[in-house]
Amino acid sequence: MILFVASGIIDVIITAVKRLLVLLATLIAWQKIHPALLALRIIVLGLLIAFFATKRTFLTPDTLFLVLLAIAIVFGQARAFVYRFLPFVALLLVYDSFRSIADDLNSFVHFTEMIQADRWLFGGYLPTATLQSWWWHGVVQWYDFYFYFLYTMHFVVPILLAVLIWKIRESLYWPFVGALVILSFGAFITYIFFPAAPPWMASDLGYIEPIHRVSSDIWFAMGIQNFSTVYGNLSPNKVAAVPSLHAAYPVLLLLFAAKLFTWRKMWWLVFYPVSVWIGIFYLGEHYVVDAILGGLYAIGAYLASIKLFTLKEHKNISIRGIFWKFAEQVLKCVARN
């Protein structure tokens, strides 16, 4: 078993090293032909690293898009990057804007259904309360940073995987974007019809035993002060718990990573969704049933998108055109309101 795990990890490392060697060879070639351009690229990358190291800016889709765009410009990939990623990031931003008003469309918040489901699944116990009784002792520990780091990578990891898919297997890029959009908007529709409170809110209102919102302590301990400009103007929806997109996104990413590299090489990446799931329970952000539903939504979005793009190959349908038109109409609707 250990040898099998090691073999899969070694395969991935070897692939990564090969790509790094190709990148190094490319940089050497550019140095011979365009030393000034190579210097510019190194300076830009260095400035970006220094900026995030000193400002501790919270990485959100709009921030990450601008960072990747700057990198794409100095590497001569700006046009291709904007074509593929602008609708992707725009749709995520529009989704998150809608998510912030979903609770205004339906003020009836559900508290008890998730509590009852978790108690039924775990013999009367709430996993969130159990995990906090084990791990939370009033002081932030190293594992708190680990779980919260994964929690904050909610929108960052999908964009990074999208870049990887674009560069390794471009034919899989739009199915990935399609699945992410289907998943996100499917969750938004659910939030409208079924606003659901997270464990920390249920605890504050007396529905369950005391639950500490650990993320608040971690936030201040990390010293991060500023959100990006766009996200600073959004009002987060506190009752968007069912399904859990924090649980759904890692499952979707695992499925596409496996499709990109095969399950034999990537099955060990299961640790990522497992860690995220344990983290959101422990942090008091979600019930187990929220995560299970999120995982089912992710699987459904994956299958739907793969099927859609398979049909596209046979019917000659322009899926990218559909995404662009959809994004344009949604943005016009938001502008009118």
Task: List the structure tokens of 70.
Answer: 């700057």
Query: What's the whole-model pTM score?
Result: 0.74
Enumerate the H helices of the chain as residue ranges.
2-33, 35-55, 61-74, 78-99, 102-105, 112-121, 127-135, 142-152, 156-168, 173-193, 199-204, 214-222, 229-232, 245-261, 263-266, 271-282, 288-315, 319-336
Tell me the average pLDDT across 220-240.
58
Most confident of the ranges 58-72, 116-130, 199-213: 116-130
- SS3 of residue 65 by DSSP: helix
Segment 20-55, tens digit of pLDDT: 555 555 545 544 555 665 566 566 666 655 665 555
Per-residue pLDDT at 45: 61
More confident residue, 103 or 286: 286
More confident residue, 221 or 193: 193
Segment 159-203, tens digit of pLDDT: 888 888 888 888 888 899 889 889 988 888 888 888 888 999 899
Determine how many CB atoms are found less than 10 A away from the CB of residue 168: 13
Segment 106-119, tens digit of pLDDT: 668 889 999 999 99
- Asked whether 95 and 230 are in contact (CB, 8 A), the reply is no
- CA 284, CA 200: separation in Å to the nearest integer? 5
Q: Which CATH class is domain 78-336?
A: mainly alpha
- CA 212, CA 227: separation in Å to the nearest integer? 23
- Parse the chain into domains and list their residue ranges: 78-336
Spell out a b/e string for 245-268, using b for 16 or more CB atoms within 10 Å of the CB, else e.
Answer: bbbbbbbbbbbbbbbbbeeebbee
Burial of 127 (0-12, 13-18, 19+ CB in 10 A): buried
Per-residue pLDDT at 225: 54
> In degrees rounded to 5, what are phi and psi of residue 169?
-145, 90
Length of the chain: 337
- Asked whether 179 and 305 are in contact (CB, 8 A), the reply is yes
Rounded to the nearest integer, the mean pLDDT of the chain is 75
- Asked whether 269 and 255 are in contact (CB, 8 A), the reply is no
Please check the confidence at residue 151 and state whether its pLDDT lies above 50: yes
- CA 146, CA 272: separation in Å to the nearest integer? 11
Largest Cα–Cα separation, the chain: 69
Per-residue pLDDT at 4: 46
Per-residue pLDDT at 221: 73
Segment 244-278, tens digit of pLDDT: 999 999 999 999 999 988 888 888 999 999 999 99
- CA 185, CA 95: separation in Å to the nearest integer? 7
Following DSSP, what letter does each residue of 170-203 receive, concatenated?
Answer: GGGHHHHHHHHHHHHHHHHHHHHH--B--HHHHH
Write the CB contacts of 230 (distance below 8 Å, at least 6 apart in sequence): 60, 62, 93
